[in-house]
Structure 1
Amino acid sequence: MDGDALQEIARQRAEELPAAEATRPFGPEYDVFKVIGTMFLLFTEVRGEQIVVLKADPRDSESLRQAHRDITPGYHMNKRHWITLEPGGALDAGLIRELVTESYLLVVEGLPRAKRPVDPRTFGEHPGGPPVS
């Protein structure tokens, strides 16, 4: 998957999430998605390649990096809490969408309850069915 496709899949998922908004607080070379003012997703370019940077639980982050060569520590971010998705490998659209959703939910979980646009414990569940990402 090339960098443009990687970013487009992540962007489409972010746009579907309640109260998510696209911003450019760091300048035109960085697209940032926030929920209630807190960043959960960043798009930029490194060495001519489009990348996606998102929040991840530290335990998941380590496992993901071990399982996928295209997932590395967060570019210019806290390496324990952020990961970078890089183009060119075997990341599939389903995993990308799931990681964007998880990043969003990690941020929502940290918001005061009164400001949360969704309940992070039940978001995406269908009655009688599995969670949807």
Structure 2
Amino acid sequence: MDIEQIRNYCLSLPQTYEDFPFDEDALAFRVMDKIFAMISLSNPEWFVLKCHPDLALQLRENHHEIQAAWHMNKKYWNQINIFGTLPDSLITDMIRHSYAEVVKKMPKKIQTEYPELLTVTSPLRP
């Protein structure tokens, strides 16, 4: 996947928007104000996604393109090299997983008010 495909896929998820919370290079994707993905515009191979801690370790062990994220909590965030050999389907699965991980931590009130958030499920399991 290239940066534009990633951007389009992230923005296709319910209640998602993009912004630049830190500088003009780090593009963040948020669901209900919570970041679930970020990508560097100057170095798009720096793409980070939230992940269940057990699954994060499994993915890092099985794919050299997936590492602990450099500037994020390494327990929960993976850095993905999109220019490696990962299939697009795995990248989209990891995006969905990240989104679902963020949504499941939201208050039940928000989940009830915005049921479309729960339509995005993760095909990945720890």
TM-score interval, normalised by the smaller of the two chains: 0.7 to 0.9
Structure 1 unaligned residues grouped into runs of 5+? 126-130
- Kindly state the Cα deviation for residue 32 of structure 1 after the two structures are TM-superposed: 0.3
Give unmatched runs, 5+ long, in structure 2: none
How does 1:1-133 map onto structure 2 within 5 Å? 5=2, 7-44=3-40, 48=43, 50-116=45-111, 117=114, 118=116, 120=118, 123-124=119-120
Name the larger-Rg structure. 1
1:83-119: CA deviations, max 9, x gaps? 0001332111111111011100100001112213335
Counting matched residue pairs gives: 119
| TM-score in terms of structure 2 length | 0.84
% same residue:
28
Q: Deviations over 1:37-90 (max 9, x none)?
A: 1110001168x5532101000000000001100000012001010000013321
Cα RMSD over matched residues? 2.0
Whole-Å Cα distance in 1 between the matches of residues 67 and 15 of structure 2?
Answer: 28
Aligned structure 1 segments of 4 or more residues deviating by more than 4 angstroms: none
CA contact (8 A) 2:15 2:117 kept: no
Equivalent pair of 1:21/1:34 in contact (CA under 8 Å)? yes
